[in-house]
Amino acid sequence: MNLTQLQSLIAVSEAGSFTAAADKLGVTQSGMSQALAALEENLGVKLLVRQPRGVALTAFGERALDHARTALSHLEAIEREAMALIGEETGAIRLAGFPSVFATVLPPLLRRFRTLHPGIDLVPLETDDLEVEAWLAAGSIDLGVVLNPSSARKAVPLGRDAWVPILPAAHPLSRRTSLSLAELAAAPFVLATGGCHTNARSLADAAGLTLQNVEIEVRDWSSALALVREGAGVSLVPESTLPEQRRGLRVSKLASPLHREFGLVASPVRRLSRAGNLFVEMARRSSVPSLA
C-alpha cells in the first residue's frame, strides 16, 4: 500500500470515473487503474465496481476511503509541520558566558539545543562576567549567563555552586571541618578568578575583610588547585571546579556558607528572536541539577 494508491482511491470516489480522476491527479488512466488493481490485490478485497456510467465504491471501499482520507490528512500534517519547522529553525543566537559555565552547565545545554534545532546557528562567546553584563546592556548578544541575578531580571536558573576552602594536605588548618572567611583571608593565599570579577577577593571585600597575603593570582581554577597542592597557599574556589583526584588537597567548608548562582537572561534592549525563545524554553524545561 502506498501514497499513490490512496490518492487514486480518493480521486476516483470524488470524480466518479477513472478518466476524470486521472486528469485530476495528472496521471494516465491506465496508470491509475493499475494502481487501484494492485491495491485490491494487496488487500484481497474489491474496492470498486465498474458501472455503465462510471465507477462506484463497494461497502468495504467506503470504509477504506475514510481511512485513506485520514491517512492522507496525517501525511499532509507532517508536511505542514516540517515546513513550519524549516521556517522555525533559522536564524542565529549569540550566547555569552564566563569560563566556569562553559566548563560546567552550558555544554549539555548547547549539545541538546544543537540536536533539537540543527538549523539554528548557535554562537557561544566566552568572556568575563562583567563583559557579559555589558554586552547584554548594549544588545550585542541575545542571551547571557550571569552571576547571582536578581529576581527582577526573570532569569532562567541554570545552577548553584558553593564556595569551598581548599588547603594543602599538610596545612595546619587542613584537619578542620569548617573555616571562616577571616581565617582564610589571614593565610598565605592563592587567588583564582576563573575569568570572573566575583572571586575570593570580592567575597572578602563584601565581608569587610582583606586578603592579607596573596602569594600569586591566576585566572584558571586548575592552576590554583595545582599551586595549593604544592603548598603555595590556601584558596577559595567554586565546588564545581574541584578535581576528581584530590591527592595532596584538603577540601573544607565555610562556617558561613556562600554560593553563586547562574542565570540565563535576555538582553533588555534587543527583541528576542524565535530562535532565542526556543533556547530559553529548552533551558527552562531542562532539569539542571544544583552544583552545590
Task: List pLDDT tens digits, range 129-170.
Answer: 999 999 999 999 999 999 999 888 889 999 889 999 999 999
Judge whether residue 84 has pLDDT over 70.
Answer: no
* Domain identity same for 146 and 206: no
What is the domain count for the chain? 3
Last residue of a domain, one of 59, 88, 117: 88
Q: Which domain holds residue 37?
A: 3-88
| Global confidence as pTM | 0.65
**pLDDT value, residue 7:** 87
State the pLDDT confidence band at 289, using cuts at 50, 70 and 90. Answer: very low
Residue range 8-18: average pLDDT? 87
Whether 65 and 110 map to the same domain: the answer is: no
pLDDT band at 85 (very low <50, low <70, confident <90, very high): low
Whether residues 141 and 225 fall in one domain: no
Residue 288 pLDDT > 80, yes or no? no
Which of the four pLDDT bands, split at 50, 70 and 90, describes residue 291? very low
**Domain end position, chosen among 88, 108, 142:** 88
Query: Does residue 292 lie in a domain region?
Result: no
pLDDT, position 28? 81
Confidence label for 86 from pLDDT (cuts 50, 70 and 90): low
For 87-137, write each residue's pLDDT tens digit.
556 688 999 999 888 888 899 899 999 988 888 899 999 999 999 999 999
Does residue 124 lie in a domain region? yes
Express each pLDDT in 224-280 by its tens digit.
999 999 999 999 999 989 988 899 999 999 999 999 999 999 999 999 998 999 999
Domain match, 265 and 153 both: yes
Predicted local distance difference test score (pLDDT) of residue 271: 92
Q: What mean pLDDT is reported for the chain?
A: 89
* Residue 290 predicted with pLDDT over 50: no
What is the pLDDT at residue 27?
76
DSSP codes joined into one string, the chain: --HHHHHHHHHHHHHSSHHHHHHHHTS-HHHHHHHHHHHHHHHTS--EEEETTEEEE-HHHHHHHHHHHHHHHHHHHHHHHHHHHHHHS-SEEEEEE-HHHHHTTHHHHHHHHHHH-TTSEEEEEE--HHHHHHHHHHTS-SEEEEES--GGG-PEEEEEEEEEEEEETT-TTTT-SEE-HHHHHHS-EEEE-TT-S-SHHHHHHHTT-----EEEEES-HHHHHHHHHTTS-BEEEEGGG--S--TTEEE-EESS--EEEEEEEE-TTSPPPHHHHHHHHHHHHS------
All three cell numbers of 139: 544588545
Asked whether residue 56 falls in the same domain as residue 194, the answer is no
78 falls within a domain: yes
- pLDDT, tens only, 177-212: 899 999 999 999 999 998 889 999 999 999 999 999
